[in-house]
Amino acid sequence: MNRSICFVIMPFGKKADASGREIDFDRVYSTIIAPAIEIVGFDAVRADEEMNAGLIHKAMYERLILSEYAIADLTILNANVYYELGIRHAARPQTTVLLSAEASRLPFDVGHLRALPYALDKMGRPMDVEGARAKLVELLDHCKTHDEPDSPLFTLLDGFTAPQVNHEKTDLFRRSVAYSRELKERLLQARGKGVAALDAVRDELKDIGATEAGVVIDLLLSYRAIEAWDRMIDLYRRMDPVLAHSAMPREQFAFALNRAGRGEEAERVLIDLIASRGPSSESYGLLGRVYKDRWQTAKDADDSILARGAIKKAIDAYLMGFEVDWRDAYPGVNALTLMTLNNPADKRIATLAPVVRFAVERKMARGMPDYWDYATLLELAVMAGDFAEALDRLGDALAELCEPWEARTTARNLTLIKEARNRAGEDIAALTAMIESLEKRAGALGSKQ
């Protein structure tokens, strides 16, 4: 028997509220919302991140209209959340439950609606999760046995009626959700078996443009994990145009183009993306990598004039990325590395280095550190000449490593520093050993895929 679907409308990751406090919405979902949905016997479906970034298409509308139940977290003024709630309220008279963190003020138009409050600590993490979960279970159970309208359209407007939805359509939707989950699990298994296994899943999908966005993005990132750049490029070109136009797939398309040696095309994609969607640390970070690779190529070819211009453009792009979002240390540490290589006397280095360190340390304090956090601290320690700390951070980074290209990226950065120190007559033995460890681990991961 198919279980009822409960669609969750909420922000992703960590987002700041009106006071500037960062709220860990992923933890709210994993500790309160998802367990409550499971307890009442529903299947949870959460909007994919690329949809939250601004993508509106058929799959999202289906979820909002055809899911028997929905939960919306209104804690922050997230435009996508409120837009999706409006669609839900127009399509379903009842079975929509609202949540909001305590002390959050709802906008006037929804201020009269009842939202279940939950508590947060000073770090934006949910407190009393058992109590909040139990209250949410009560509300969902109530929805199962009562059909009181909770949509203001149906409670305030006489004669407003819900669109009729064919039961067969709902059953097809449930099967589609189950099929998407099965595919995602198969992609996870195929990723460890290499290109041929991922190609088999891709070929089974047949029409990529008609496939659910979450599955397509999983496939795209699976190809990235095994460094199948040409496959990523081909898959992007076969996507639904609306999905392909959203920011995250365009960034990954540019990433793959650059890794495939098509840097000029990648540059155009990223410049167009920044012009149309506005600056982001990710877009500028990727653009910085394009210019960094151009500098490396020019340097290897002894084209000093082109190299000089390319490294300046790379530094500027990385700095722009870090200034857009100081919480993202990745473009900051890359700017520092290139500044150190280009001109060790650059006065900006002394100012920027502690800011980058603070950014990554604060990010690590807010949640579970990932590979890039430790890799950033590793590079900062190497640039500062603190090889004892660098060794500690290398071990931490290797323990978090998921994909070979990540280690190769760090090894490449350290190699650039090693070459500069070798030219200056400095001891590079410790740095050489670190690079070898990264390359060895990358090779071991690659052989498993």
Q: Is 64 within the bounds of a domain?
A: yes
| Residue 81 shares a structural domain with residue 111 | yes
Single out the residue in 134, 165, 196 at which a domain terminates.
Answer: 165
Rg over alpha carbons for the chain, rounded to the nearest Å, is: 24
What is the extent of the structural domain holding 228?
A: 166-238
State how far the Cα of 401 lies from the Cα of 229, in Å rounded to an integer.
20
Apex CA 76: angle with CA 362 and CA 36, to 5°?
A: 90
Q: Is 445 within the bounds of a domain?
A: no
| Residue 123 shares a structural domain with residue 212 | no
Q: Is 431 within the bounds of a domain?
A: no
Q: Is 301 within the bounds of a domain?
A: no
Q: Is 449 within the bounds of a domain?
A: no
Domain count, the chain: 2
| Residue 231 shares a structural domain with residue 123 | no
| Residue 34 shares a structural domain with residue 46 | yes
Q: Is 57 within the bounds of a domain?
A: yes
| Residue 77 shares a structural domain with residue 188 | no
| Residue 131 shares a structural domain with residue 41 | yes
| Residue 195 shares a structural domain with residue 136 | no
Query: 151 with 94: CB under 8 angstroms?
Result: yes
Max Cα–Cα distance, the chain, nearest Å: 84
Half-sphere exposure of residue 257: CA atoms within 13 angstroms, side-chain side: 20
| Residue 46 shares a structural domain with residue 96 | yes
Q: Is 153 within the bounds of a domain?
A: yes
Which residues, 6+ apart, have CB-to-CB distance to 319 below 8 Å?
331, 332, 335
- Residue 24: strand pairing partners: 14
| Residue 117 shares a structural domain with residue 220 | no
Residue by residue, pLDDT tens for the chain (449 residues) are: 467 889 999 998 888 887 778 899 999 999 999 999 999 999 888 865 444 444 456 667 777 887 889 999 999 988 889 899 999 998 888 899 999 998 777 766 666 788 899 999 988 889 999 999 999 999 999 998 887 888 888 877 777 776 665 554 455 555 556 666 777 778 878 877 889 999 998 998 888 887 777 788 888 989 998 899 999 999 999 998 877 888 888 999 999 999 999 999 999 999 999 998 889 999 999 999 999 999 999 999 999 999 999 999 999 999 999 999 998 899 999 999 999 999 989 999 999 999 999 999 998 887 778 999 999 999 999 999 999 999 999 999 999 998 899 999 999 999 999 999 999 899 999 999 999 999 999 988 876 65
| Residue 76 shares a structural domain with residue 145 | yes
State how far the Cα of 119 lies from the Cα of 142, in Å rounded to an integer.
22
Query: 434 with 394: CB under 8 angstroms?
Result: yes
Single out the residue in 184, 204, 238 at which a domain terminates.
Answer: 238
| Residue 85 shares a structural domain with residue 175 | no
| Residue 177 shares a structural domain with residue 122 | no
CATH number at residue 50: 3.40.50
Single out the residue in 197, 217, 238 at which a domain terminates.
Answer: 238
Q: Is 10 within the bounds of a domain?
A: yes
